[in-house]
């Protein structure tokens, strides 16, 4: 559903026609991932000369953040009103960097100008516009009655509501990461994947997919694979001892699914994973089935699921990391991650 058009506002004040420019800018921002997913309506407050905002969910690029309700926002109509003979247009925006501080509703005031000539300000980059205020000199109260010029500031709903919202990319890494003789856990990622605080909602999911190679020409060794989110271990798997191979590497594949069951300071996630390690081969694509069915220790397969508790989805350290190590020191051993993709699937 798109934002409300403001034809009715023109009947109240002709200058409001300029709001169409802001309306298009808001739609362009929505196309780049900055929009209202639900709620967040701004209304006149029960406290004279102020506005309230309902709780909701906004999208900020790749993050969906819960926006708290605001009652009687600190900024008043009187403080925004221009000098005699002038008018001003103010955009009411939500700042994604502070969605839970109570200071998330920001007032972006345009330049005051004589009656019927004020222009709306440019929407602030990185924010989501929820509403606009049209204020003439002397206004002290606010209403949403756009068909009557009564001296009050006029509140206009400009939410660009887009739902349902589809999956989006959290991270993609194609630069190779190679760990040489990693006898201590080390990251397979170029950099950890951030998940913004407050972003997960119950029922949302994160999907991870990694591909790479493992080569050890010196010793048989186990491999340990660990997946960490928000400082909590989701998966910690160690393979059986994998024989050395003097010539060829093995291909490996890891899929991880993280589903948010409960969000908050004591969050709970359901985790599923599939790990496949192929036999050594000179081929780029290798079947593990023959070795696995024959019970040969040249390949490995793991799948499983678990419920993980104690995850704080509100914290600033909500990053994903995937780590690896070998159990037996081998100077020639390499663990290489070739591709990594993390996607976010809203409920």
Residue 118 maps to a domain: yes
* DSSP annotation of 280: P
Note the pTM of the prediction, 2 decimals: 0.69
Could you tell me if 181 and 56 lie in one domain? no
Residue 162 maps to a domain: no
Residue 2: what pLDDT?
45
pLDDT at 103 over 50: no
Could you tell me if 182 and 300 lie in one domain? yes
Percent of the chain, pLDDT > 70?
Answer: 87
- 220 contacts 241 by C-beta, under 8 angstroms: yes
Domain count across the chain? 2
Residue 102: what pLDDT?
40
Residue 56: what pLDDT?
87
Q: What is the pLDDT of residues 274-307, one digit of tens each?
A: 999 998 888 878 777 766 665 566 788 899 999 9
* Structural domain harbouring 85: 7-157
Could you tell me if 141 and 272 lie in one domain? no
Domain CATH for 198:
2.60.120
At 176 the three-state DSSP class reads coil
Q: What is the pLDDT of residues 242-274, one digit of tens each?
A: 999 999 999 999 999 999 999 888 999 999 999
Residue 126: what pLDDT?
86
Task: Report which of residues 166 and 256 the model is more confident about.
Answer: 256
In the numeric block, the tokens 């309306």 are attached to 23
H/E stretch holding 154: strand 153-157
Residue 339 maps to a domain: yes
pLDDT at 12 over 70: no
- The CA-based diameter of the chain, rounded to the nearest angstrom, is 89
Could you tell me if 134 and 189 lie in one domain? no
Q: What is the pLDDT of residues 18-63, one digit of tens each?
A: 666 677 788 888 888 889 988 999 999 999 999 999 988 888 876 7
């Amino acid at each position: 559903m798109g934002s409300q058009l403001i034809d009715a506002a023109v009947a109240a004040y002709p200058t409001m026609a300029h709001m169409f420019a802001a309306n298009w800018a808001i739609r362009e921002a929505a196309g780049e991932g900055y929009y209202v997913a639900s709620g967040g309506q701004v209304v006149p407050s029960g406290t004279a000369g102020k506005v309230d905002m309902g709780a909701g969910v906004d999208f900020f690029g790749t993050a969906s953040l819960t926006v708290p309700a605001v009652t009687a926002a600190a900024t008043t109509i009187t403080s925004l009103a221009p000098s005699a003979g002038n008018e001003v247009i103010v955009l009411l925006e939500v700042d994604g960097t502070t969605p839970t501080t109570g200071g998330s509703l920001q007032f972006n005031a345009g330049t005051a100008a004589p009656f019927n000539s004020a222009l709306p300000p440019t929407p602030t980059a990185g924010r989501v516009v929820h509403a606009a205020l049209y204020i003439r000199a002397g206004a002290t109260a606010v209403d949403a009655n756009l068909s009557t010029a009564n001296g009050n500031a006029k509140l206009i709903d400009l939410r660009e509501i887009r739902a349902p919202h589809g999956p989006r990319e959290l991270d993609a890494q194609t630069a190779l990461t190679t760990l040489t003789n990693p006898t201590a856990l080390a990251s397979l990622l170029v950099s950890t994947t951030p998940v913004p605080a407050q972003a997960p909602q119950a029922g949302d999911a994160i999907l991870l997919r990694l591909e790479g190679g493992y080569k050890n020409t010196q010793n048989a060794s186990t491999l340990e694979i660990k997946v960490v989110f928000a400082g909590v271990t989701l998966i910690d798997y160690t393979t059986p001892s994998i024989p050395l191979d003097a010539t060829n590497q093995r291909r490996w594949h890891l899929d991880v699914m993280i589903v948010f069951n409960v969000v908050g300071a004591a969050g709970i996630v359901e985790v599923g994973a599939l790990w496949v390690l192929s036999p050594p081969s000179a081929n780029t694509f290798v079947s593990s089935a023959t070795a696995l069915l024959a019970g040969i220790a040249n390949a490995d397969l793991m799948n499983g699921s678990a419920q993980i508790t104690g995850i704080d989805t509100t914290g600033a350290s909500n990053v994903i990391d995937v780590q690896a190590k070998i159990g037996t020191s081998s100077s020639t051993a390499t663990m290489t991650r070739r591709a990594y993709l993390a996607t976010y699937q809203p409920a």
